[in-house]
Chain A
Amino acid sequence: MDKTLPDLATAVAGIDDGMTVMIGGFGGSGAPIELIHALIDRFVATGHPRDLTVVNNNAGNGHVGLAALIEAGMVRKLICSFPRSADPVVFTEAYRAGTIELELVPQGTLAERIRAGGAGIPAFYTPTSFGTDLAQGKPVAEFEGRSYVQERWLKADVALVKAHLGDRLGNLSYRMAGRNFNPLMCMAAARTIVQVSQLVEPGGIDPEAVVTPGIFVQGVVEVPNPAQEEDLNRAGAVYPEAAA
């Protein structure tokens, strides 16, 4: 078994128009910047994929990564908890222009919906959002004297994920708070593509330290020394550079 992929272009080749794509990361930490940029490269070259539904905690920052994906016009709908950042101009302008749809989900509900999607649980009840605008239209039930809101699983065609160590079997470990949504998204997508900062031999990750077992992963591509969104933004980076 060998899930490694030769390069980033191969890694993003199977993503088609209209797909739902989960993208890991919380702000820039754990965000698969190189995979996102490879997807933009494909769009620039071929006009595809477009009309994507993207699931991420945020809505991008500056003009790189997820913000660049939106700026390229590839995203029809965003499912997120917090579409604000230090520089949210790209999403904000698309939202105001009506070119992007927003489904706002409380952060813990977003995480649990993704977890449920990966775990085969179609719906669950949570206290979060009861009595608020975000619970409108959702079934409510009482358990042990408290009211809870029904939420549904969230699944994706593809997940783009960033991990620190990975092996050819797809076993992964993460780096610090870069873990965030990544392990959940690995579980919830039909096809999970991971950029790892270092590819190791099987056994190179202590079995006790494997966070995502390889069963949840379909493709691994090595990206040594990955860019950090925060560093790119502090340098005023724009992707693709030609659009600057």
Chain B
Amino acid sequence: MTLTPIKLTPSQMAWRAAQDIADGAYVNLGIGFPEMVAKFQPPGREAIFHTENGILGFGEAPAPGAEDWDLINAGKKAVTLKPGTAFFHHADSFAMVRGGHLDVAILGAYEVAETGDLANWSTGPKGVPAVGGAMDLVHGAKQVAVLTDHVTKDGKPKLLQRCTLPLTGVACVTRIYSSLAVIDVDRGRFVLREKLASLSFDDLQALTGATLHLDGPVADLTVPEL
């Protein structure tokens, strides 16, 4: 495997994903890196964030010592109230998820297949299995986006023809924000939309486990220093 070229940081991936979230969108951000997307909302746009445990429109983390442990997000981290916050029970929360009411869900990934299959909940039979809301979140949101390093820590592709790990959902991912590129999943194909200017198409293809298709121009993936 060739050396991985300069890649985006998780903050930069989150910034890029945030640019696609429209004013007024209802958005669920997965635990971990995707949570950072909320910080990078472009000025003038107001998205409403949903968390599985029953809050719409929550605010940022409180100052240390000011936590209220009845006011947490799905990652069990303390959040805050904002004008317009709404509480609801778990069945209503997942009605929002499966019922097609969310505009965007952004999740992490172990593997994504060109078919749109996602593996992000289990690395195999060892360890204690835990799924949380991941299998629900991949169904129902109008856009199911993935935020992920383009390759594993060992340099192996995470974007594949078929997933090798246990699936979270079948044919569910619509867009991938990777550390090297922005790729749509369209009718069983990876379609390249943006890539780092410092990276050639052939280099990117070599780091990808399935064919990258072209459908119109490929833009430079440009992000600020963060």
Contacts and interface: CB of A to CB of B under 8 A. Distances in A.
A228 B69 CA distance: 7
A106 B135 contact: yes
A176 B130 contact: no
A83 B127 CA distance: 11
Contacts of A83: 128-130
B136 A128 contact: yes
B128 A92 contact: yes
Interface string B59-100: 000000001111110001000010000011111011001100
Interface of B is mostly: loop
Contact of A27 (B72, B98, B133, B167): B72
B42 interface: no
B175 to A, nearest CB: 19
Contacts of B167: 131-133
Contacts of B128: 83-84, 88, 91-92, 95-96, 102
B133 A107 contact: yes
A48 to B, nearest CB: 28
Contacts of A175: 70
A66 to B, nearest CB: 14
Contacts of A211: 89
Contact of B140 (A30, A82, A127): A127
Interface size range of chain B in the complex: 35 or more
Interface in A123-140: 126-134
A211 B135 CA distance: 28
Contacts of A115: 91
A63 interface: no
Interface in A92-138: 92, 95-96, 102, 104-112, 114-115, 126-134
25 contacts: A27-B72, A27-B76, A28-B69, A28-B72, A28-B76, A82-B130, A83-B129, A84-B130, A85-B76, A95-B128, A104-B131, A108-B90, A108-B135, A111-B90, A111-B91, A132-B167, A175-B70, A177-B51, A179-B54, A179-B89, A180-B54, A181-B89, A184-B89, A229-B69, A231-B69
Interface of A: 26-30, 57, 81-86, 88, 91-92, 95-96, 102, 104-112, 114-115, 126-134, 174-184, 211, 228-231
Given A29-B70, A86-B76, A92-B128, 8 more contacts: A83-B128, A106-B136, A108-B97, A108-B136, A111-B90, A111-B94, A131-B167, A177-B54
